[in-house]
Amino acid sequence: MSKVLVIGAGGVSSVAVHKMAMNAGIFPEIHLASRTKSKCDAIAQSVKERTGETVATYAIDAEDVPALSALIRQIGPSLVVNLALPYQDLTIMDACLETGVDYLDTANYEPKEEAKFEYKWQWAYHDRFKEAGLMALLGSGFDPGVTSVFTMWLKKHKLKTIRTLDILDCNGGDHGQAFATNFNPEINIREVTAPARHWENGQFVETPAMSNKVEFDFEGVGPKNMYLMYHEELESLAKFVPEMERARFWMTFGDEYIKHLTVLQNVGMTRIDPVIYEGKEIIPLQFLKAVLPEPASLGSTTKGKTNIGCIATGEALDGSGEKTFYIKNICDHEDAFAETGNQAVSYTTGVPAMIGSALMVQGIWKGDGVFNIEQLNPDPFMEMLNQHGLPWTVEELSGPVEF
């Protein structure tokens, strides 16, 4: 029987653990560990009330490899699901190697002192996982995750080659706050304030953050401004879909969000280097996180929908010339909250984390080494999205995007 150990007790973890408990046939034993045990206990209590299932909870610092290895040995899971922060990816992978257990995450490693995310640190673990006969699955969230699988599904079923790819991420939710982020504020603000990068003719092209804006009419949401950004799946997609001429990632932001972020940036509150305040070193962005609303607290007030998908243009599989397809999921914040007690941004990440875990513990996805989600068969994942709350649609557009 498969046991899983989930690490981290934020919104994404809460959704994944609830969804695992709703599929007790696949996940008969769930263990949950995080830095603050009371957050694990709150999730376990909600899971008990909603599903009747029991979740065992523990306190752990996932950056302490010996302590984490001891906990993994004590529990004996077949999979460790990392839903803590990107900073902990490498230490959790180290503990998995140490104890001989498979690994899954939703976000690639990022060093604390530099806002720079790249797969190179985790790809460097490939040989060690391979030699140990273990599997590490990287990026089983929504983006990366579902967007990567959407692209590979199009490549398998609709397009022989992909010439251009646009990933469109719209959060049309309104939480009623002047400024708040829908997932960990520190990670979110580091991502948004980094320069934009897109893939074009075999290399990444860098442009200033938030300098490229396009209005797009999102189904279920309406017209929204979306901004060109860098996102980590561009790196893995450029590697696994090498024929792409151009790949871009777009995310919507409201004017209020941009206004607040601009001011915070201008006054230095998004800095990640230490400053001395009253004789003590503080990191302004970490201080800012402490005064912003907890993303989990926004769930009960958030209304509206997310709409995230991919538009791909390329040579049709059936030989009918160049075609363009739009594949997407629309998720309702209030429905997500009613089901798991978390809003749609956590829901759209936690459900794919559960699905990737389910495919691994059942041996449907298997391999020795470190894999990006693009390397696995998209079909069973796509089927499970439809069954577990993230249904998708695919449509043919009349031509390539005009922006």
Interface ranges with ligand NDP (CB under 6 A):
7-13, 34-36, 39, 60-63, 83-86, 88, 106-107, 141-145, 183-184, 187, 295, 349
Between 185 and 304, whose beta carbon lies closer to ligand NDP? Answer: 185
Amino acid identity at 290: A
Tokens of 354: 């559960």
Q: What is the closest distance, in whole angstroms, from the C-beta atom of residue 165 to ligand NDP in the complex?
A: 17
Q: Provide, rounded to whole angstroms, the least separation between the CB of residue 89 and ligand NDP.
A: 8
Distance CA 80, CA 70 (A): 13
**143, containing H or E segment:** none
Residues with Cβ within 8 Å of residue 299, at least 6 apart in sequence: 11, 333, 337, 341, 342, 343, 346
**Based on CB atoms, which residue is closest to ligand NDP, 34 or 99?**
34
> Closest approach of Cβ 16 to ligand NDP, in Å?
9
Minimum CB distance to ligand NDP, residue 366 (Å)? 22
Closer to ligand NDP by Cβ: residue 324 or 343 = 343
SS3 279: coil
- Contact between 333 and 302 under an 8 Å Cβ cutoff? The reply is yes
Token code pair at residue 31: 């263990």
Q: What is the DSSP secondary-structure string of 237-257?
A: HHHHSTT-SEEEEEEE--HHH
Q: Please, which residue, 77 or 145, has the CB nearer to ligand NDP?
A: 145
Query: What is the nearest approach in angstroms of ligand NDP to the Cβ of residue 69?
Result: 14
The closest residue (CB) to ligand NDP is 10
Q: Which residue has the tokens 């981290």?
A: 8
Residue 390 amino acid letter: L
Please, where are the H alpha helices in 52-184?
65-75, 89-99, 120-123, 126-131, 146-157
* Least distance (Å) between residue 370 CB and ligand NDP: 17
Closest to ligand NDP by CB, 31 or 323: 31
- Do 352 and 390 contact (CB within 8 A), yes or no? yes
- Residue 303, strand partner residues: 174
Q: Is 347 helix (H, G, I), strand (E, B) or coil?
A: helix
Locate 125 and state its tokens: 């673990």
CB closer to ligand NDP out of 44 and 159: 44
Nearer to ligand NDP, 159 or 229 (CB): 229
**In contact, 272 and 283? CB cutoff 8 Å:** yes
Sign of torsion over alpha carbons 291, 297, 302, 305 = positive
CB of 152 to ligand NDP, least distance (A): 16
Closest contact distance (angstroms) between CB of 28 and ligand NDP is 24
Q: Nearer Cβ to ligand NDP, position 187 or 354? A: 187
